[in-house]
Structure 1
Amino acid sequence: MATVGLTYFDGRGLGEIVRFTLAACGIEFTETLLQERQEYEKLLEEGKLMFHQVPLLEIDGLELVQSGAIVRYVARKGGLYGDSNEETSKIDMFYEGTRDFYKSFLYLVFQDPKEVLAAAKAKALPRYLPIFDQALKKNGTGFLVGESMSLADIGLIEVLLSVTEYFGEETLSDYPSLKAFKSMMVSQERIAAFLNGPQKKGGNTDAYVATCRRVLKLDI
């Protein structure tokens, strides 16, 4: 089997959802962690970065960019994208909602962490936690869509792990369906192996931010 390769940075950012999805699908992958501007420019010269950005996933002879396109390809490949057009549409809807929620944490360290977390606590948590709690309760299977894990669930567990990391487990105390969902998801064999393995990244660090700025010439 050809090697599946992910190119990103040694941090979460937009690459962590790709790692999560690959792990949930049982797809082994190697990582290239960018450190220098020259590495990024080489990828550009080789025509691998269509929109001049990472993550880049090389899989099945494809060179995929755009994290949404990447995870959908992987989810289809791994059977995490529904059994009907209706289910797929619902998965997309919930997944996009998790991405809106996750944006609350995306710029931690790039911007003042206290301000980012204060905004997340004041605006994102009271907006999104009730929505996803009710969605899980309504579906009644423990998952957001259907009777098995999907890409929507991968998106939700990623952001819930950030919520409890920064605000504590008690944040979910008023949301029993979310609390049960988190417990169930982290006990899934493949998810548990990923969370306890070397490819799971820690929170953003100053070194990670400096590398991103250097490689991409960011001004944020």
Structure 2
Amino acid sequence: MSGKPKLHYFNGRGRMESIRWLLAAAGVEVCLYGSLLFQQVPMVEIDGMKMVQSRAISNYIATKYNLYGKDLKERALIDMYVEAVIDLNELLMTHTFQPADKKEQHFATIVDKATNRYFPVFEKVGGKEVTMDKTFLLATGFSRADVQLLETLLMAEECKPDILVKFPLLQSFKARISNIPTIKKFLQPGSQRKPPLQEKDVPKLMKIFH
């Protein structure tokens, strides 16, 4: 038990969810704890360290479990893909927190950016060398970019179920990555994947983070 990473966060998605996805993709079992460090950021105890800041944690996990490319150029590609995904992910995560009079506009912004800015790039990414009709975003294999893109695609579908209707290659990508054994296990009921944030949970979270 002591060798497993320990996750400290509230019992919900937030910025810990992408870390849960990466650990699940790597086939790593974790211990779950409820405390927070520095309030706004997740904290992970791993390899004798108490790590904070979600990007630092994700980079460490991706490197440790060979999900960060084969060389410096691949790492740069992964970083570009992941940063784009994070931008959309942040929009999706914050939708539930929007005031009632701003939800409609925020939803429109999500759909616009997803379908006009981000998804078209991922539908055919990387030009000659890497396209979405291959198995992974990188021609050389599975990486954190695949994991985090899948996470965000599924979140986008929770927001708008038909959001991928004009993106057949992304639909195919979603199906392929979802069937990787470690990912498939994480998508099953009873896993450590957290459900979408509900409106009723917002007041409690606001107290935690403020």
Q: Check whether TM > 0.5.
A: yes
1:205 aligns with 2:192: no
> Taking structure 1 as reference, are residues 16 and 154 closer, same or farther at Cα in structure 2, changes over 3 Å only?
same
CA distance in 2, matches of 1:214, 1:205: 15
Q: 1:184-203 to 2 correspondence within 5 Å?
A: 184-196=176-188, 197-203=190-196
Q: 1:1-220 to 2 correspondence within 5 Å?
A: 2-34=3-35, 40=36, 43=37, 49=38, 53-112=40-99, 113-135=103-125, 138=128, 139-140=130-131, 141-168=134-161, 170-196=162-188, 197-217=190-210
CA distance in 1, matches of 2:205, 2:124: 37
CA distance in 1, matches of 2:74, 2:126: 15
3-state secondary structure, aligned to 1:108: helix
Post-superposition CA distance 1:47-93 (Å, at most 9, x none): xx4xx532101000011111111111111111100111111111111
TM-score by length of 1: 0.84
Deviates more, 1:64-73 or 1:103-112: 103-112
TM-score by length of 2: 0.88
**In 1, are the aligned partners of 2:92 and 2:159 still within 8 Å (CA)?**
no
The amino acid that maps onto 1:6 is L
Runs of 4+ in 1 over 4 A off after TM superposition: none
> Taking structure 1 as reference, are residues 60 and 110 closer, same or farther at Cα in structure 2, changes over 3 Å only?
same
Unaligned runs of 5+ in 1: 35-39, 44-48
Post-superposition CA distance 1:177-213 (Å, at most 9, x none): 1111000011111111111133111111234322321
How many residues are aligned here? 202
**In 2, are the aligned partners of 1:87 and 1:146 still within 8 Å (CA)?**
no
**In 2, are the aligned partners of 1:6 and 1:55 still within 8 Å (CA)?**
yes
3-state secondary structure, aligned to 1:15: helix
Identity of aligned pairs, percent?
35
> Taking structure 1 as reference, are residues 76 and 66 closer, same or farther at Cα in structure 2, changes over 3 Å only?
same
Post-superposition CA distance 1:16-71 (Å, at most 9, x none): 1000000001111011134xxxxx4xx4xxxxx4xx53210100001111111111
CA distance in 1, matches of 2:198, 2:127: 36
Which structure would you say has the larger RCO, counting Cα contacts within 8 Å and 6 or more residues apart? Answer: 1
Q: What root-mean-square deviation, in Å, do the aligned CA atoms of Structure 1 and Structure 2 show?
A: 1.8
How far 1:106 sits from its partner (Å)? Answer: 1.6
